[in-house]
Structure 1
Amino acid sequence: MKHHYWEAPIVIYLFLGGLGGGIMCLTAIMSLIVNPGTGSLFFVPMFFALAALAIGCFFLVFELGQPLVFWRVWTTATAIIKWGATLLVIAMFGDIFWLLGYLDVLPLDWGFLGAIASVFGGGTPVFATIAGIAGFGIMVYTGVMLSTLKAHSFWATPALPVLFTISALSTACAAIALSLGIFAEPTVALLAATEEIHEIIHVVDIILVCAEVTVLLIMILSFLGAGNVTQKAVARRWVVGKTAPLFWLGMIVCGLVLPFFLYVFGADSAASTVVAPVLVLCGGLLLRYLCVYSDERAEIPGENRYYNRTADPHAEFVEHWTYGENMY
């Protein structure tokens, strides 16, 4: 079946959702456990996380086709998207309250910013924890949402949520590396903490890139060798078909292997601190593009016979009828 189940807006939503959730999760771990007291360093990354989730929600609602009835997501008990929407709301409010607690780091002289920060500042550990847990759920959910669609056998695999979670954490590391420490007070302690967190983030991203390559190749090669007809067709297209250049050159080489070598051998150069994170972000977006557009499904018996008997969408009686009109 060639008709795409979802289009480009869902690609953007899955990428931004995983990115925002990953930033929140890593920020909670880094600022509360690894290096406590460094929350102000993550002000810009957390702002980017909030913006990513907000823009991702816009594209999700846009793709669903009926923006004004988005509230129905929470009224359908069996809808998997309900859990994703709930996690998005929790994460965004946790992020907003966390940001309010650090408003005093902004280079502005407005007196009320300090007052707001003092009100919310005491609860930043709680807000970071809430946003971090919900962010982790969002990362996993982006893969679960596709894997629950059993008719699309390429998506219906437990490996997909694992792959999307690893990719989301990797892209989050890249985004944090690019934006960490902006607006932070340039004290000796914070500068030292920034360097330490940068080193940790780079090491973590190296591990995540290796894990992502491993999981991705195992999933694709297992489909190619032992999958059903649909899985084999998609895997063959990725490996040797028309999307092979995007898969091998775009995602594997430029999105994963090249950043790995830049991280390892680039030391503290611009190649390691700027180029590699940008390539990781592009690779994460490309992964979701290839997955969303690999939505072939096996044909249901008698399906073609049904479609052959339906009316031509340009038939005269169809074009003259409007939705809700009773002509008889």
Structure 2
Amino acid sequence: MTAVSSTAGGGAGPQNVFMDQFNLEARTQRVWDINHAIWFTLMGVGGGVFLAGRILNLTEGLGYVLGIPTVDVVSFLAIAVGGAILVADLGRPLQAWRAFVNVRTSWISWGAWSDLIFLVMAGLLVLPALSLGGSEPFSGLGWDPHGGDGGGLALEIIAGVAAVVVMTYAGAVLARPRAIPYWNSPAVPLQFLLSSAAMSVAVVMLIEVIAGEPVTAGQMVLLGLLTAALTVAVVVHLLARTDAPGKKESLDRLLRGQYRSMFVWGVFASGTVAPAVLAFAGAVVGVSGARDALAVICCVLLVPGGFWLRLLTLRVGIFPPVHIPSVSGPRMAAP
């Protein structure tokens, strides 16, 4: 930050008694970093795995943990760990309740409530299936844990809507304020949503392979479409408002500066474009084993790529430079 003041020559008085111009250089935000990137990633995968397992009808064929479908257990663990990281990062965990009190104006409150609603509704949904010591103590609750009746379907729909918000709200939190131009774009929540969906489908396919079930061509097409859409969203965001103060500095850091290699080769090429190509290739390959191998490779590329997409998005959050030009004050009359 620089403040410059001057006095006019030839006996004239000061142009401005405080300063003639004020310059504030572009600054990188320091609040959001790796803990938040881990949190965003886990929430995206947690909500997405639940949705993918239900939409693709894979809850009953991929194994169980204590009677609960494996895909649901993975979903619950991801969101629970992500929530624990968030609470620990707050610095005052006992005041975490404050995140719930501003629903009308805060995406963070929307996210906190969505996390809670998801865990409660999805937990209730699968509770009748819980097996402890060979018995199912909650089997008499009266609804199908797979959503096959009215009660189970209602819980499944509520949990699914909450899961969509869980996948999206992290990007919405970043996109709403105008102070950081690179974040202030609908492309940011769109990227996070598409990345979460792609990672989640890939994780579910990994669970399929581990369970000995074949990955289908349709699943690979779905993954290819999601990763292709993510590629387009990233490119559109990079090409929009490239000269805007603040975003220009963010793009310089991403594409030409210290994060160039990780973003271009790690996030974009390996973590987005390559999985899209491999997924479409897997859709047309005729050998089931080869398709399974490609699905595993896609998962291995997409999940780290999704994490780094979020982390680099946070790390190139830059406040634009500020320049207040000189304002000439009244000159004093010469004696």
Per the TM superposition, whether the score is higher than 0.5 is: yes
- Partner residue of 1:142 out of 143, 166, 170: 170
Can you list the C-alpha shifts for 1:3-49, whole angstroms capped at 9, x where unaligned? 41212111111111111111222333333xxxxxx532362121111
Is the Cα contact below 8 Å between 1:91 and 1:132 reproduced in 2? Answer: yes
Is the Cα contact below 8 Å between 1:27 and 1:132 reproduced in 2? Answer: no
- Partner residue of 2:217 out of 186, 196, 199: 199
Residue of structure 2 in register with 1:96 after alignment: 123
Can you list the C-alpha shifts for 1:96-127, whole angstroms capped at 9, x where unaligned? 123323336xxx8x3323x4345364343332
- Do residues 230 (structure 1) and 246 (structure 2) align? yes
Distance, in Å, in 1 between the alignment partners of 2:199 and 2:142 is 29
Deviates more, 1:3-12 or 1:293-302: 293-302
Is the Cα contact below 8 Å between 2:59 and 2:70 reproduced in 1? Answer: no
Equivalent residue pairs, number: 279
Cα 1:135–1:263 shift into 2, 3 Å:
same
- Partner residue of 1:278 out of 294, 300, 310: 300
Deviation at 1:166, TM superposition (A): 0.8
Is the Cα contact below 8 Å between 2:128 and 2:143 reproduced in 1? Answer: yes
Distance, in Å, in 2 between the alignment partners of 1:13 and 1:120 is 35
Task: Tell me which structure has the larger Cα radius of gyration.
Answer: 2
- Partner residue of 2:88 out of 52, 58, 62: 62
How do 1:174-323 residues align onto structure 2 when only pairs under 5 Å count? 174-180=202-208, 195=214, 198-224=216-242, 227-266=243-282, 267=285, 268=288, 269=290, 270-299=292-321
Q: Percent identity?
A: 25
Cα 1:120–1:160 shift into 2, 3 Å:
farther
Distance, in Å, in 1 between the alignment partners of 2:142 and 2:271 is 39
Distance, in Å, in 2 between the alignment partners of 1:48 and 1:198 is 21
Cα 1:44–1:163 shift into 2, 3 Å:
same
Unaligned runs of 5+ in 1: 32-37, 184-190, 303-328
Unaligned runs of 5+ in 2: 1-26, 63-68, 145-150, 325-335
Higher helix share: 1
Cα 1:99–1:181 shift into 2, 3 Å:
farther
Cα 1:163–1:3 shift into 2, 3 Å:
closer
Residue of structure 2 in register with 1:172 after alignment: 200
Is the Cα contact below 8 Å between 1:40 and 1:181 reproduced in 2? Answer: no
Distance, in Å, in 2 between the alignment partners of 1:182 and 1:128 is 25
Higher relative contact order (CA 8 A, sep 6+): 2
Q: Secondary structure at the match of 1:153?
A: coil
Q: Secondary structure at the match of 2:94?
A: helix
- Partner residue of 1:116 out of 123, 138, 145: 138
Distance, in Å, in 1 between the alignment partners of 2:210 and 2:274 is 27
Residue of structure 2 in register with 1:133 after alignment: 161
One-letter amino acid of the structure 2 residue matched with residue 241 of structure 1: G
State the Cα RMSD in Å. 2.4
Cα 1:211–1:76 shift into 2, 3 Å:
closer
Is the Cα contact below 8 Å between 1:173 and 1:205 reproduced in 2? Answer: yes
Deviates more, 1:264-273 or 1:253-262: 264-273
Cα 1:149–1:208 shift into 2, 3 Å:
same
Is the Cα contact below 8 Å between 1:9 and 1:62 reproduced in 2? Answer: no
TM-score, with length taken from structure 1: 0.77
Distance, in Å, in 1 between the alignment partners of 2:255 and 2:301 is 21
Is the Cα contact below 8 Å between 1:177 and 1:198 reproduced in 2? Answer: no
Distance, in Å, in 2 between the alignment partners of 1:79 and 1:71 is 14
Deviates more, 1:8-17 or 1:58-67: 58-67
Distance, in Å, in 1 between the alignment partners of 2:142 and 2:208 is 22
